[in-house]
Chains A and B, each alone.
Chain A
Amino acid sequence: MTAPITADPESVPAAARPGVRELHDQLERVWNDGPGLRGWLMSTDHKSLGKRYVITAFVFFLLGGVEAAMIRAQLARPENGLIGPDLYNQLFTMHGTTMMFLFAVPVMTAMSLYLVPLMIGSRDLAFPRLNAYGYYVYLLGGLFLYTSFFLNVGPDAGWFAYTPLSGPAYGVGKRVDVWAQTITFTEIAGIIAAIELIATIFKQRAPGMSLNRMPLFVWSALVMAFMILFAMPWVAVDSQFLAMDRLIGTHFFNQAEGGDALLWQHLFWFFGHPEVYIIFIPALGFVSTIIATFTRREIFGYPAMVLSLVATGFLGFGLWVHHMFATNIPQMGESFFTAASAMIAIPTGVQFFCWIATIWGGRPRFATPFLFILGFFAVFIIGGLSGVMIASVPFDLQVHDTFFIVAHLHYVLLGGGVFPLFAAFYYWFPKVTGRMLSERLGKWNFALFFIGVNVAFFPMHLLGLHGMPRRVYTYLAGTGWGDLNLVATIGAVTIFVSVVIFLVNVARSLANGELAGADPWGSSSTLEWATSSPPPSYNFAHLPVVEGRYPLWSRPIEPPVVTGLRTDERELLITTLLDARPDHRHRTPDPTIWPLLAALATGVTFIALIFTPWAAVVGGVLVIGPLVAWGWSKPKPGDPVIPEGVT
């Protein structure tokens, strides 16, 4: 495990080496998940779990979209009788909870979990079994929420679940408990992903990939992971306080017994605002990666870009009170949060200007991913500008909790999250599946999505300014809001059609899409394009050695590689934090069923905790079993014998 090895830049190129076929077969035997359903359930491969993660998150995106469609159908006309207040409240709560907790954050961590090991030239994540556990906990949380929803136990106090409405006195039945426990599931999954990403990025980069050569997407993933690590515990604590208030009669949020209803909001938004950046920052990483590829030039101002990401990560924690301007917080205090909210526009501005400079200096190629990036610019800038507006306390007091905010947040999250995500789907789809998506359908997808988003959400700015509050299940005809709402609903239908086109595109591509080579775009810069599409289970036959920020652009004909890792066992190369010098070999564990069983035990515990506090005791015992077995089945520390081939 600790045998020191060195990377050999003058190593023999793979193709010229005798026994290449044997090497691949050997690695495939060692790194394969194993056959059949058993192998599928036991898998700890970051690619196979990452794919499942992304697909699961995308299914939740579709479900959240269906809920949005139902909301828009109800609001299309004034005094519409389609959906009553009870179901409507559940629908918008489910929409928000699904999109924020089950789609946006998980899909960003999932993309990172898939891409980061490939981009930094490693064979797997740092804690592969923990990764499997995290995925299953997330999956169970989502299934639990939706099962409850179909049993009419869908949460109905909003995705923000403000006390006292969500508290024991007004949140009747078990609906809010379902919400609180869903949050706990997803927070655990999020924190696990963060830990893995940080450890992997710090310790498993290919030799030569010092911090100042790290791809911008990896920087984004790192900043996101740290933000998750510092933001998510707050909401986990918050939701557990709420669950305790509701189940065992504690008084965290009971004003009469010394609790505080506003405490909920502080804790929630101390997580909730960074969460927006948790979604936005990896998207910035997609943008930088895709712009570099499709303009065929280096991103302008790499140090400024990295510093902006880090600055955004820090400032993101100083804004939470701007969600609470209408509560009676002293004006002086609010001013600080106005200033901080305005300040965060600066690092974002720096990145935008750098990208524009990059595009100016490059030769743009208008493939679908690049179109989505252009869409991102237009849509996100509108959301960003309205964001600066609502940083102003007086103005926010007019538009807070109105459709203006609905418009703003959808411009920010669709512009800053979903447009880059679709760009990323189109960009990396060939890598993941080995097949190209249709450019023709892709352009339709983009055009309809762009039109749909603007038609659906731009009128909402006006609705909010003209007095339409959020979360209303209906409105009177005399308000004058009917026409703009109808326009918004038409926009929502357009978005729906666009997403259907995307699904058709994916289905057609999987059936008989054009085959993609290792690097179908021809101008990619990052290491994942150095291996085949889809990547083999072991990612790289020989781990690459990196000599620049854009390793594939400065690659010599005979690229240097690492040799000396064992091929008969799962071994990772651990490098130093700053300079990524080879440090030691690490024997990483084999696939196992225990993470799945531990996740099931965790799930049973959390669900039972809704009904009885004793579940904590019984469930605690129940979870220990699989955890012990999990640790027991780990490989012994590697033998100190330096294997053949180490130079």
Chain B
Amino acid sequence: MTARTLRGVLALAAAAAALACQRETRRFRESPPAATSETAVAMSELVPGPKTRDLPIRNPYERNAYAVSEGERLFNAYNCSGCHSHGGGGIGPALMDDQWIYGSDPENIFSTIVEGRPNGMPTFRGKIPNYQVWQIVAYVRSLSGLLPKDIAPARDDHMVAGPEPQRTEALRPKHAFTPSAADHP
């Protein structure tokens, strides 16, 4: 075995290790900033000084199976399912389809939860720690297949309410309205 193939094998192993670690880590103790309930997403286009380019916000939990399953647990614990059912909708809109009234990006969903939306979506500002909101965001996106299949939750132990996120084919989001600056001329 040449040194080069050896390096290749090692690099591959390291990559596999990193991926597996990210999916399987159980981070129980979030650092205090993530646990605060201040918003982490800009709520307005108005910024002091010259306009800077928006960098897409990445939700670290979308690559972590434990966090997504926590999101699922919290989705039910905080009674999101009371209005959105298990993603199928009812009083609130369905979350397992490709229709996104306020955008499908993680930061859009984060804002929706924290700020609330007209016609019924309450604000959870101050009620749900930031990191838990991000976990719920990851779960909500998994409902329409926007998360990798090995990370999205499998079926739960209840009556079947719909296809489990793990087997949902990714639906291309249709943005009916996106408050992001990019969509405005």
Chain A interface (Cβ < 8 Å from any Cβ of B): 86, 148, 150-153, 164, 167-170, 172-175, 245-249, 251, 254-257, 611-612
Smallest Cβ-Cβ distance to A168: which chain B residue: B154
Cβ contact within 8 Å between B157 and A174? no
Q: Could you tell me if A169 and B150 are in contact, using CB atoms closer than 8 angstroms?
A: no
The CB with the most chain B CB atoms within 10 A, among A86, A150, A255, is that of A86
Residue of B66, B149, B157 near A172 (CB, 8 A) is B66
Q: Is B182 an interface residue (CB 8 A)?
A: no
Contact, CB under 8 Å: A256 / B157: yes
Q: Are B159 and A168 in contact (CB under 8 A)?
A: no
Which residue, A153, A172, A249, has most C-beta atoms of chain B within 10 A? A172
Q: Are B155 and A169 in contact (CB under 8 A)?
A: yes
Partner of A249, one of B23, B65, B149, B155: B155
Give Cα distance in the complex from A249 to B166, angstroms: 9
Which residue in A86, A153, A174, A254 is a CB contact (below 8 Å) of B155? Answer: A254
- The complex places the Cα of A174 from the Cα of B153 at a distance, in Å, of 11
Bound Cα distance from A344 to B101, whole angstroms: 68
Q: Give A248 to B168 CA distance when docked, in angstroms.
A: 11
Q: Report the Cα distance A175→B21, complex, angstroms.
A: 11
Q: Contact between A256 and B158 (Cβ–Cβ < 8 Å)? A: yes
Q: With A152-B25, A172-B69, A248-B167 as given contacts, are A254 and B157 in contact (CB-CB < 8 Å)?
A: yes
- Pair B26/A169 contact, Cβ less than 8 Å: no
> Do A167 and B24 form a contact, CB below 8 Å, given A151-B16, A172-B69?
no
Provide the residues of chain B in CB contact with A168, threshold 8 Å. Answer: 153-157, 164
CB distance from A404 to the nearest CB of B (A): 30
Q: Which residues of A contact B65 (CB under 8 A)?
A: 172-174
- 9 pairs, A vs B, C-beta closer than 8 Å: A153-B23, A168-B156, A169-B156, A247-B154, A249-B160, A249-B166, A251-B160, A611-B149, A612-B149
B17 proximal to A (CB < 8 A): yes
CB neighbours of A170 from chain B (8 A): 157
Chain B residues near A148 (CB-CB < 8 A): 20
B143-184 vs A, Cβ < 8 Å mask (1 yes, 0 no) = 000000110011111111001101100000000000000000
B residues 57-75 in Cβ contact with A at 8 Å: 65-66, 69
Q: How far is the CB of A587 from chain B (nearest CB, A)?
A: 39
Nearest CB in chain B: distance from A124 CB, A: 34
Q: Which residue of B lies closest to A87 (CB)?
A: B26
B157 CB contact (under 8 Å) in A150, A169, A248: A169
CB atoms of A151 and B66 under 8 A apart = no
Closest CB in chain B relative to A589 CB, distance in Å: 32
Q: Knowing A172-B69, A257-B160, say if A249 contacts B20 (CB, 8 Å).
A: no
- Beta-carbon contact of A173 and B24 below 8 Å: yes
4 pairs of A and B residues whose beta carbons are closest in the complex: A168-B154, A151-B20, A173-B65, A249-B155
CA distance A246 to B153 in the complex (A): 9
Chain B contacts for A174, CB-based, 8 A: 23-24, 65, 150
Given A152-B24, A251-B160: 18 more A-B contacts, CB < 8 Å: A86-B28, A153-B20, A169-B155, A169-B156, A172-B65, A173-B65, A173-B66, A174-B65, A175-B24, A245-B154, A245-B155, A246-B154, A249-B160, A249-B166, A254-B157, A254-B158, A256-B159, A611-B149
Instruction: Give Cα distance in the complex from A406 to B18, angstroms.
Output: 36
**CB-nearest residue of chain A to B158:** A256
Distance in angstroms between the alpha carbons of A279 and B23 in the assembled complex: 37
A168-B154, A169-B155 are contacts. A151–B21 as well, Cβ < 8 Å? Answer: yes
Chain B interface residues (CB < 8 Å from chain A): 16-17, 20-21, 23-26, 28, 65-66, 69, 149-150, 153-160, 163-164, 166-167
Cβ-closest chain A residue relative to B22: A152
How many angstroms from the CA of A249 to the CA of B69 in the assembled complex? Answer: 16
Contact residues in B for A173 (Cβ distance below 8 Å): 23-24, 65-66
Nearest chain B CB to A307's CB is how many angstroms away? 47
Q: Which of A173, A174, A255 has the most CB of B within 10 A?
A: A173
- Considering the complex, give the chain B residue whose CB is closest to the CB of A259: B157
A203 to chain B, nearest CB (A): 44
Using Cβ atoms and an 8 Å threshold, which residues of chain B touch A257? Answer: 159-160
Assembly CA distance A148 to B149 (angstroms): 19
Decide if B157 touches A164 in the complex (CB within 8 Å): yes
Residues of A within 8 A of B28 (CB): 86
- The residue in chain A whose Cβ has the minimal distance to the Cβ of B72 is A169
Chain B residues with Cβ below 8 Å from A152 are: 17, 20-21, 24-25
Contact (Cβ within 8 A) B156 A153? no
Q: How far is the CA of A172 from the CA of B154 in the complex (A)?
A: 9
Partner of A86 from the list B26, B157, B163 (CB cut-off 8 Å) is B26
Cα separation A255 to B159 with both chains bound (whole Å): 9
A254 to chain B, nearest CB (A): 5
Most buried by A among B156, B160, B167: B156
- Complex Cα distance, B24 from A148, in Å, reads 11
Q: Is A169 touching B154 in the complex (CB atoms < 8 A)? A: yes
Alpha-carbon gap, A255 to B166, bound state (A): 20
Q: Which of B17, B26, B149, B150 contacts A151 (CB 8 A)?
A: B17
B18 closest partner in A (C-beta) = A151
CA A499 to CA B25, docked complex, whole Å: 34
The smallest beta-carbon distance between A562 and chain B, in angstroms, is: 48
Which residues of chain B have C-beta atoms less than 8 A from A167's C-beta?
A: 157
Task: List, in ascending order, chain B residues with CB within 8 A of A254's CB.
Answer: 155, 157-158
A246 to B154, CA, bound (A): 6
Residues of B within 8 A of A251 (CB): 155, 160
Chain B nearest CB from A474 CB (Å) reads 14
Q: Which residues of B contact A175 (CB under 8 A)?
A: 24
Write the nearest CB–CB distance from A580 to chain B, whole angstroms.
Answer: 50
Shortest C-beta distance, A159 to chain B (Å), equals 19
- CB nearest to B156 among chain A residues: A169
Give Cα distance in the complex from A164 to B155, angstroms: 12
Q: Which residues of A contact B158 (CB under 8 A)?
A: 254, 256
- Point out the residues of chain A lying under 8 angstroms from B20, CB to CB: 148, 151-153
Identity of the chain A residue whose Cβ is nearest the Cβ of B160 in the assembled complex = A257
Residue of A152, A167, A248 with most partner-chain B CB within 10 A: A152
CA distance A168 to B163 in the complex (A): 13
